Structure 1
């Protein structure tokens, strides 16, 4: 950044605007070390969802917005963009990149279809590179004069001399941990979107939080796919008018149908790629009215916890359970004991999943529960079977309460301790844990 730009950073400015200017200055300095001419030689491609040219899929026009939004959001978080500026940057950059993508021939895949499709890995690299260029332009002196336009509404102080930015609204918070463990590949994925409603511009659901855990099998591509696509598909359903009947049950049906449609659309679209991969899914939506909605397929679980209440919200879709077995057999499938477990057609050890297009008896229709949250509820834990099959729920709950009560324990460290507990209890599988606080940490466990 130039000296003139540096001189514009004044101690009389709003603290959040100063933080953003410092972020841009640091970003520009780091980028200058990685450039050769005008081309970035490194632009964070290591933060993409995929890792190699073999771990990719074709992205259609219906899917591209979700992939663009997901990639930009990850990149803004990794780069350390201040919270007050992330949302407008996300929306502005996503709109611009959708336009730019029409001319990005390097991302296209030559297919015999009426519509253009894009390679996921190339698309992610393109978005990452374009985001870098977008941010670098903000370091120009002319752009610096307009940085306040990129802040959230009402985020900046009108009187910088009396800046109150330290008094920010409380956010409950979350943390997550995931490890490959013994398998050859990591096939779990997860997504944590504290500002889900704002991300997808849901006017009537702007304060929603969204969390999802996905346990992939036969490769990670299905889990990768739903991580970006389900939030977008669900948002599209939530943009529909909520029935104005005054009936609480009717509103529950609205959310149940929204989740079901999102899951089934994700399954249908992924099946069209003819990729042999599938994933379980457990997703949580928390509204500003403190209503919790959980939808799932497969055997990843969600535990709702309070000092006086503990509720496992998920009934796993195991092939041997009477209801699932009956449904599978009516669908023309068979439940066979193989490799130490009951499996659909002797292959898959869950009765429902997203993907697995070759197993017709395996469906993506989710089960669904809703819970009105109250002061009695402290936190929610989402996890794959690598956790739940090996660590008793009582140990999980006690560990979290003990850690939350210990001021020196960082929130980010708690899921890591649960992962370690699963390994100590001989878990061989991939392990993913997401901890979602439902109230301020210092209020958890009181009363």
Structure 2
């Protein structure tokens, strides 16, 4: 997606969803592309093999796409479409066993979407390095300490951005990428984001846990777990101005970049762009049914509540997670005319 054009920051409270804005502007004003080819990118259920689930389909995951963990199972899958853009600048990660070189020894799962702008080099770099950096920074392996875990995520984001910037100087590129990331360790969920990619959880009411309807559960409430980082928002604008940057009348940093937090974007680092994420954590209960991660292309045509209703309906029909994630992206691109790159990850919790 095009990122020289987005962002804001946040707190750690959960927020009830509001409707989506119209199709988002490109993040970089120089990124607009027009193309009518949207049919080729979506993979059908028969096209995609289970072993393709992993680092954006680049590195295979050896596990089955189901993780059994402490009284519940996790199923997850991703789908993507380049929309009407000429190139795909998103990257994603689905790791049900996130121990990397020591599978099975880390009780943790990891999911992420990196939405590139100005190219996909920054998105690819973060995809390959962020999780390893978070692990090396000390994401707890057994006795979970939430403060230690959040500190590890912060350190992992910082280390990734610092090394990415060094790579971009050496390579002569200036790409940037927003990110939304989830780590699930035991029953604790950690959500971290920079930029305008979002995470939304579908949560049932307390009464639904006790008394379910004939379909299994009543309508779910959509809770937004992330906070957008855009230069036009007061908190981000103040931070940018303190760093010596400006926010123009079109809401863009230096008249060009809409997001105020992202990996890379080295030409904007001195004027307030940072890769410091907002981090939120919560413990899973039977009220949490699934989490949707999406780049801003998805949320430009889907409101959070709309997306949760769409996913819940398909899951109630008994469709597999892989099919539901693809239907969600297909609906966004082909029916709702998302013109940006569109990527979504669906994480479903099945309680025993």
TM-score, normalization by structure 1? 0.57
- 1:377 maps to 2:284: no
Runs of 4+ more than 4 Å apart: 73-77, 81-84, 239-242
Pick from 409, 412, 415 the counterpart of residue 325 of structure 2: 415
* Structure 2 CA distance for aligned equivalents of residues 200 and 170 of structure 1: 24
**Counterpart position of 1:293:** 190
**Counterpart position of 1:357:** 266
Structure index of larger Rg: 1
Aligned-pair distance for 1:170? 7.4
- Cα shift readout 1:69-119 (whole Å, capped 9, x = no counterpart): x88x95544xxx6759xxxxxxxxxxxxxxxxxxxxxxxxxxxxxxxxxxx
Contact 2:140 2:148 (C-alpha < 8 Å) held by counterparts: no
Count of residues in correspondence between the two structures:
271
Contact 1:202 1:235 (C-alpha < 8 Å) held by counterparts: no
- Cα shift readout 1:351-376 (whole Å, capped 9, x = no counterpart): 00000011021011111111111111
How has the CA–CA distance of structure 1 residues 297 and 75 changed in structure 2, closer, same or farther, with 3 Å as cutoff? closer
Contact 1:317 1:351 (C-alpha < 8 Å) held by counterparts: yes
**Counterpart position of 1:231:** 131
Aligned-pair distance for 1:252? 2.4
**Cα root mean square deviation, aligned:** 2.5
* Structure 2 CA distance for aligned equivalents of residues 239 and 297 of structure 1: 19
- Cα shift readout 1:28-75 (whole Å, capped 9, x = no counterpart): xxxxxxxxxxxxxxxxxxxxxxxxxxxxxxxxxxxxxxxxxx88x955
**Counterpart position of 2:80:** 178
* Structure 2 CA distance for aligned equivalents of residues 373 and 281 of structure 1: 22
**Counterpart position of 1:279:** 177
TM-score, normalization by structure 2? 0.71
**Counterpart position of 1:214:** 114
Contact 1:391 1:421 (C-alpha < 8 Å) held by counterparts: no
* Structure 2 CA distance for aligned equivalents of residues 291 and 239 of structure 1: 12
* Structure 2 CA distance for aligned equivalents of residues 219 and 346 of structure 1: 19
Bigger helix share: 1
Aligned residue for 2:281, secondary structure, equals strand
Aligned residue for 1:380, secondary structure, equals strand
Structure 1 residues 9-48: aligned runs within 5 Å: none
How has the CA–CA distance of structure 1 residues 76 and 192 changed in structure 2, closer, same or farther, with 3 Å as cutoff? closer
**Counterpart position of 2:102:** 201
**Counterpart position of 1:188:** 90
**Counterpart position of 1:13:** none
- Cα shift readout 1:164-223 (whole Å, capped 9, x = no counterpart): xxxxx97421111011111121001110000003x24389x7120000011000000000
Aligned-pair distance for 1:394? 2.2
Segments of 5+ residues of structure 1 without an aligned counterpart are: 1-69, 85-168
